[in-house]
Chains A and B, each alone.
Chain A
Amino acid sequence: GAGVSQSPSNKVTEKGKDVELRCDPISGHTALYWYRQSLGQGLEFLIYFQGNSAPDKSGLPSDRFSAERTGGSVSTLTIQRTQQEDSAVYLCASSPMNDPEAFFGQGTRLTVV
């Protein structure tokens, strides 16, 4: 499809395990964002990639969280040694150059048990 694609849609993992969440942005979009949405809460900024610039990692909550964006396209958010408080919906969005509108994927619901 032409939209932002995230996988998996849902992920259940055991506490202490590592997880990888994938985001495939809209083709040609230069900006890519990751947000976290805990139950009933707003969107918490995690990380922002813009073209070839150094990413803005200011929202990552701990060093267990990391993200990369390969070839300016697909991005992977990795959470190491997952904790129960990591349970949330992780949303990815992308934006084209010179357009501030962000297009969102449907998110990955992560449950840590």
Chain B
Amino acid sequence: AQTVTQSQPEMSVQEAETVTLSCTYDTSESDYYLFWYKQPPSRQMILVIRQEAYKQQNATENRFSVNFQKAAKSFSLKISDSQLGDAAMYFCAYRRGGSEKLVFGKGTKLTVNP
């Protein structure tokens, strides 16, 4: 079974600084997708960024970027120029290609200090 591991239960960063959240996963599949979701106190899960396994180029969305290391099965999220609104729980998720369920890590709580 696929598993997703987030080794940092909590992280903190100063406003305007950069922070990296770690995620590793275990799979024997070659076709899959990886995601980072943000969950603010409102509970709504919001997609931050996604990465298709077949793409070698790391995904980027404005201040958010990933470091996708397929051989190492690592998928870290970098947040640049951190803002107070970035404070939330961040979840890494995996989905096998085709019709399959999402598997989530246990999350990392990010605090942004002013």
Residues of A within 8 A of B (CB): 31, 33, 35, 41-43, 45, 48, 50-51, 53, 56, 59, 89, 91, 93, 100-107, 109
Whether A42 touches B104, Cβ cut-off 8 Å, given contacts A89-B43, A100-B95, A101-B50, is yes
The one of B42, B43, B102, B106 in contact with A33, judged by C-beta atoms closer than 8 angstroms, is B102
Q: Is the CB of B45 within 8 A of A93?
A: yes
Question: Closest chain B residue to A45 by CB distance?
Answer: B101
Complex CA gap A16/B101 in Å reads: 30
Whether B64 is near chain A, meaning CB under 8 Å from some CB there, is no
Which of A31, A59, A89, A101 is within 8 Å of B35, CB to CB? A101
Across the interface, do B91 and A43 meet the contact criterion of CB distance under 8 Å? yes
Given contacts A33-B101, A48-B101, A101-B50, contact A42 B106 (CB under 8 A): yes
A69: min CB distance to chain B, Å: 14
Query: What's the Cα separation between A101 and B51 when bound, in Å?
Result: 10
| Closest Cβ neighbor of B102 among chain A residues | A102
Question: Is A41 a contact partner of B106 (Cβ separation < 8 A)?
Answer: yes
Expressed in whole angstroms, the minimum distance between the Cβ of B16 and any Cβ of chain A is 28
Determine the chain B residues whose CB is within 8 A of the CB of A101 once the complex forms.
35, 47, 50
- Most chain B Cβ neighbours within 10 Å, of A43, A45, A53, A109: A43
Q: Hey, which chain B residues are within 8 Å of A109, CB to CB?
A: 43
